Structure 1
């Protein structure tokens, strides 16, 4: 069910109805399920937000995420509040998740600059490896401070050249 939800095969209504039906007497409302589902999301990491803003300002940020419509609504609102508004390739919209070939094809189709100017950052090595197989250099994110520092250095180097 979750895989179908994250690839857009199941709507929010279908998802919440199915989860509700798993509990005795449908004791959870769809709104209860939405609130519980959203509770796993954390706040954006300030250091990464600050480091990403110059990329947003120069039109050089493309978000790519395995996500579902409920999580994306919350994440997009947090990003917007943080000053991050960028195009996105989202699994529930493209019907595929990372690390699938079709997800990376969707990234390449979303922005023609991806093929020769992108660097893919992800916390899962298998996703970074898949990006590299599609000709997109990758970096594994494991520490917010280090990723933010690397983004700042990358932004400065590219703008100075």
Structure 2
């Protein structure tokens, strides 16, 4: 079984970082969104083309410098705004993954970045739960493998590395494009759609 992270295990708000950076930069949210898209910051970071320091420096360059402020944002300020995408982590979902782990091989496949993964692991630790690397037999992060869903290559990489057969593997993801791409390879792709969660989608397993 392969699980996505955002909006499958942990709820997310993809618009929250843009709102927070807009407030920090004293710029309209739509302008920040346009800048973000123009520079492709999110994808470049999550495909491992830039590291943490490059990401933060890029944010300072394209957003902070527009304000004309005399001081640069600290790393912690940028990370806090960036991590606002992550909402409260439901313990029930983590416990369900742990239950499934006693009967199935479990893997994590996420389009993500190091700052978010460190934050999720901090949240898990504060909840007295295992880290992602302890919850799953193996984790596959887009920034590590230098590929991003829904590219077919990332699914093929996971299947090969984990020794999985597509037709015998369930994949849970909230993104329709990711589900379609996985399904095209023969994977049993399950589209996780609110208000249902993995608790309902895995109830019969």
State the partner residue of 2:142.
Answer: 91
Task: Tell me the equivalent position of 1:10.
Answer: 50
Q: Is the CA contact 2:109–2:141 (under 8 Å) kept in the aligned structure 1?
A: yes
Per-residue CA shift, 1:8-34, capped at 9, x if unaligned?
010000000111123133431122101
Give the drift of 1:62.
Answer: 0.4
C-alpha distance in 2 between matches for 1:92 and 1:109: 18
Q: TM-score, normalised by structure 2?
A: 0.68
Corresponding residue SS for 1:143: coil
Count of residue correspondences: 154
Residue ranges of structure 2 left out of the alignment (5+ in a row): 1-40
Contact 1:20 1:26 in 2 (8 A): no
Q: Give the aligned partner of residue 82 of structure 1.
A: 129
Give the alignment of 1:62-73 within 5 angstroms.
Answer: 62-73=107-118
Counterpart check, 1:49 vs 2:94: yes
The answer for the alignment partner of 2:186 in structure 1 is 135
* Residue 29 (1) aligns with residue 85 (2): no
Structure 1: gaps spanning 5 or more residues:
155-161
**Which is helix-richer, 1 or 2?**
1
Distance 1:145 1:9, change over 3 A: same
> Contact conserved, 1:66 with 1:90, CA < 8 A, in 2?
yes
**In 1, Cα distance between equivalents of 2:201 and 2:185:** 22
